[in-house]
Structure 1
Amino acid sequence: MNTRTHYRSTGAMALAMALQFTFMATSAHAQQPRGTLFIIGGGARPQSLVQRMVATAPLAQGRPIVVLTMASEIPQESFDGIREELQAVCDAAVYHLHFSGTTAPTDPRLDTLLQAGLIYMTGGDQNRLMEAIGSGPVYRAIHQAYRQGATVAGTSAGAAVMCEHMITGRQLQGDTTYQATFDKVWQGNIEFAPGLGLVKGVIIDQHFIKRSRYNRLISALAAYPDQTCVGIDEGTALVIHPGGATVAGIAQVVVMTAIEPIGADGSLITAEHIRLGLYAEGSHLPL
């Protein structure tokens, strides 16, 4: 466990400081990305939120929208649902791409992914999604498109993969049957896996207020107290762009930061000072 202590004056400042390290994970010398991350907490998407998402993307030059459905067990149905929502608010071409973990670097579909103005990752299982993306050509194409100005968006599982340390959703102790939230705040109870790393210094959870995932996010903060832990509710997005971070949608974004050491009493996590911020539509966190 990482035990370094980081003191933060405000939740907003902590998030802003964390978000400024968003860059291409595979190259220390990569240019700062010119794109936008549109990270949706899952659930139904109001048309106004879909419009906001489309408005962030450089589609005017004829660049297409690409929908990645690898997280879903029902990829065609997932694609049909978001395509209908997208076509209701814009006339850009919408392509359905479903890659596997064995995608070859010469796969011609990668050219479509690179040319996209908006890359949208559907919900489902974030572990399945990252198994399909891996660290190869699909991963690199997403990063390159983002660096070159594309909006990379995702909902639910598609939101969870945005960060470097991805919450898998699995508990490691006690009853490990999947539950919407954790029933205990235990030391070492949360499992992580590598995510896309499009945003650094931030851990993301989704369906947050709807499914009362505070226990899970506290567990994540205990595992990585130097990270800013962000819970995004349904119908709501955290929008990260070169100028800062903004909340859009109908609910809230919760931000947790550790301002003093997080400890343990046996297997139980203990903490006296965890800062919690609650942000709604229009809240702006400058970088």
Structure 2
Amino acid sequence: MESPKGKLIPIGGKEARAHEAENTGDARPVKFENEGVLQEVLDEMKGADSKVAVITTASGEPEEMGDMYLETFGKLGCKQVTALNLTGRNVNSKKTLEILGDADGLFFTGGDQTKLIDKICDTRFMDVMKDRYQNEDFVIAGTSAGAMAMSAAMIMEGSSTESLLKGIVELTRGFTLLPKTIIDTHFMSRGRFSRLAEALLVNPGFIAIGICEDTSLVVTGGNHMRTIGSGVAMILEADSIKKTNFKEAKKMQPIYVEGMQMHILAQGASFSLSERKMILEKH
């Protein structure tokens, strides 16, 4: 398959920083602080002239979340913003598909990522979204849960504060906009290394990506990942693992690993998924 012409912008979240509960299914919208990253989202579309569809399906308070994003994008000069809470009734409606077809890009809010999978996978909306991403200069952005849903294997839930123990993470399929990847968010602030590492051990041929708050990756061609924002993104690889007890370990037993690779990306550094290497930007 040819490389997609669109862009992906997974954001590590920050709008939920005042609500630290591990269960993001009831994440309450609070005031934004990451407008720098959101400005980049608009810039990757058509700037202030962008037509943005904000998908609030993951949120426990979709109307409030939608209003907040309408206000935030409005402050950045973008006035053509529509909020959509996709449900079983409206996800394939004529109006919804018209909005999707007219938009320059989508923005998936935070909340509970399993709602996105339940409501959007295997729908006409999903088919059109993927077709536009593959064949057009179409941007799909998402924060927190909205970023996690982009990957092929998606973390449903998992203990963040435990050591690396077998069985602390539960996975399901994601949108697979970025094949053979696993994405986690709020990576440093919520101590999610262990759950991302186990998710990778379950899917050893994948690349695991942990994105910090107020930080994003701009993915072009389904391959080149450029870092923006104030934090870092961490990339884990299992290809070179020499020794691990993961297969033999019993549930909740500690895991040892020799040879797992880690790369840390910040502004000025990019990463090629196909070549599995970091690329430093020229100044």
SS of the residue corresponding to residue 276 of structure 1 reads: strand
Q: TM-score, normalised by structure 2?
A: 0.81
Identity %: 27
SS of the residue corresponding to residue 70 of structure 1 reads: coil
Superposition pairs of residues 1-287 of structure 1, within 5 angstroms: 29=1, 31-44=2-15, 45-58=33-46, 64-103=51-90, 105-147=92-134, 148-170=136-158, 179=159, 181-242=160-221, 244-258=224-238, 259-261=240-242, 262-264=244-246, 266-267=249-250, 268-286=254-272
Give the distance between the partners of 2:91 and 2:265, measured in 1 at CA: 42
Q: Cα distance 1:184–1:285, how it changes in 2: closer, same or farther (>3 A)? A: closer
Give the distance between the partners of 1:104 and 1:50, measured in 2 at CA: 25
The total of aligned residue pairs comes to: 248
Give the distance between the partners of 2:209 and 2:174, measured in 1 at CA: 15
Structure 2 runs not aligned, ≥5 long: 16-32, 275-283
Q: Cα distance 1:98–1:104, how it changes in 2: closer, same or farther (>3 A)? A: closer
Q: Is the 8 A contact 1:101 1:134 kept in 2?
A: no
Q: Cα distance 1:104–1:251, how it changes in 2: closer, same or farther (>3 A)? A: closer
Q: Is the 8 A contact 1:227 1:257 kept in 2?
A: yes
Q: TM-score, normalised by structure 1?
A: 0.80
Q: Is the 8 A contact 2:11 2:143 kept in 1?
A: yes
CA deviations on 1:190-246 (whole Å, 9 max, x unpaired) are: 211111110012110000011111111111111011111110000000110127210
SS of the residue corresponding to residue 170 of structure 2 reads: strand
SS of the residue corresponding to residue 269 of structure 1 reads: coil
Give the distance between the partners of 1:239 and 1:104, measured in 2 at CA: 27
Q: Displacement, 1:128?
A: 1.3
Q: Cα distance 1:100–1:152, how it changes in 2: closer, same or farther (>3 A)? A: same
Give the distance between the partners of 1:98 and 1:107, measured in 2 at CA: 15
Q: Is the 8 A contact 2:14 2:34 kept in 1?
A: no
Q: Cα distance 1:110–1:70, how it changes in 2: closer, same or farther (>3 A)? A: same
Give the distance between the partners of 1:133 and 1:229, measured in 2 at CA: 23
Give the distance between the partners of 1:125 and 1:109, measured in 2 at CA: 21
Q: Is the 8 A contact 2:161 2:191 kept in 1?
A: no
Q: Is the 8 A contact 2:181 2:208 kept in 1?
A: yes
Give the distance between the partners of 2:39 and 2:182, measured in 1 at CA: 26
Higher relative contact order (CA closer than 8 Å, sequence separation 6+): 1
Give the distance between the partners of 1:284 and 1:231, measured in 2 at CA: 14
Give the distance between the partners of 1:182 and 1:143, measured in 2 at CA: 35
Q: Displacement, 1:115?
A: 1.8
